């Protein structure tokens, strides 16, 4: 039943790929099949993270249904991406589906970019490590990101900054905290001369994400946190201080625990569990927090 329903939904999404380049629209009317993009997305561009999500989901759907059409759609997207010049060796967040050209020169492993990098690696793993092009794209993508985005704060914390038109913005999203688990998984699944380097980077990034939790009064992390004079791994703006039960930090704890068996990752996970129980539990379930730096029930969303 679930397989059948998945195929029905996917077929409803297929009209989104009817563009001059094969790059899908972000939105599709399930009744008419008309597609479009968000107006705010760099002149109605498609979004990098969504391309990554479709990559893995549609490749897997072809595997379980035996229908190659779904995978062929996302492989066409991959072909377009492969041919494009990569500014600074990286993938910008926006791609115009009509022209096949990049939008705003904004690079990030956080919001709007995250899933693209994560699923390049996981598509390779999902294929039984036979999809070598996906692994190659992953390796090249993280090499570019490492050269430009990986930064070290004055306090010694490693973080992934954003790059906008050649200028670094020294902030890291909660969404970016998946990267600790990703770098560890990438190293473990193909150990080579860079194994120790990427495992260390994975641990360092996960440590930084834990610090964003530990430096708040509720022991839960904000939506984004910054690195500047006198402020490290803490949110600065009011619209960055909320918490909505995103999984990325705890996911990296889980992956690092499985791959290293260092008990601190289980302890960090338990700390977060206790904080969620204390501050987020409400009648009928769990909520988020408006401000992780205010340890009172008034902060509950």
Residue 223 appears among annotated catalytic residues: yes
**Element (H or E) spanning 136, and its range?**
helix 132-148
Maximum CA extent, the chain: 56
Q: Of the residues 223, 232, 240, 248, which is catalytic?
A: 223
Sign, CA dihedral 33-72-9-98, equals negative
103/94 Cα distance (integer angstroms): 5
Neighbours of 300 (CB within 10 A): 14
Among 149, 161, 142, 177, which Cα is nearest to 248's?
A: 177
234/280 Cα distance (integer angstroms): 20
* Neighbour-count burial of 83, counting CB atoms closer than 10 A to its CB (0-12 exposed, 13-18 middle, 19+ buried): exposed
Residue numbers annotated as active site = 223
């Amino acid at each position: 039943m679930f397989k059948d329903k998945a195929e029905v939904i996917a077929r409803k999404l297929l009209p989104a790929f009817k563009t001059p380049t094969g790059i899908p629209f972000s939105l599709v009317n399930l009744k008419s099949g008309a597609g479009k993009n968000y107006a705010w997305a760099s002149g109605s561009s498609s979004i990098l993270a969504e391309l990554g999500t479709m990559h893995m989901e549609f490749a897997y759907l072809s595997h379980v249904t035996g229908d190659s059409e779904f995978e062929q759609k996302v492989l066409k997207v991959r072909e377009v991406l492969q041919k494009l010049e990569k500014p600074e060796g990286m993938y910008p967040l926006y791609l115009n589906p009509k022209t096949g050209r990049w939008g705003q020169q904004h690079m990030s492993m956080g919001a709007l970019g995250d899933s693209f990098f994560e699923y390049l690696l996981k598509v390779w793993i999902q294929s039984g490590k036979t999809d070598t092009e996906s692994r190659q794209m992953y390796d090249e993508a993280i090499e570019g990101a490492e050269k430009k985005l990986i930064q070290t704060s004055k306090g010694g914390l490693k973080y992934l900054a954003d790059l906008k038109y050649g200028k670094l913005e020294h902030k890291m999203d909660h969404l970016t905290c998946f990267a600790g688990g990703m770098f560890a998984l990438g190293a473990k699944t193909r150990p080579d001369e860079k194994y120790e380097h990427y495992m260390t980077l994975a641990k360092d990034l996960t440590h930084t994400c834990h610090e964003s939790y530990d430096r708040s009064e509720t022991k839960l992390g904000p939506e984004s946190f910054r690195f500047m004079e006198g402020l490290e791994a803490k949110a600065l703006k009011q619209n960055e201080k909320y918490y909505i039960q995103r999984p990325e930090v705890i996911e990296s704890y889980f992956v690092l625990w499985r791959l290293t068996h260092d008990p601190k990752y289980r302890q960090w996970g338990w700390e977060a569990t206790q904080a969620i129980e204390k501050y987020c539990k409400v009648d009928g379930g769990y909520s988020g927090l408006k401000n992780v730096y205010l340890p009172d029930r008034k902060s509950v969303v």
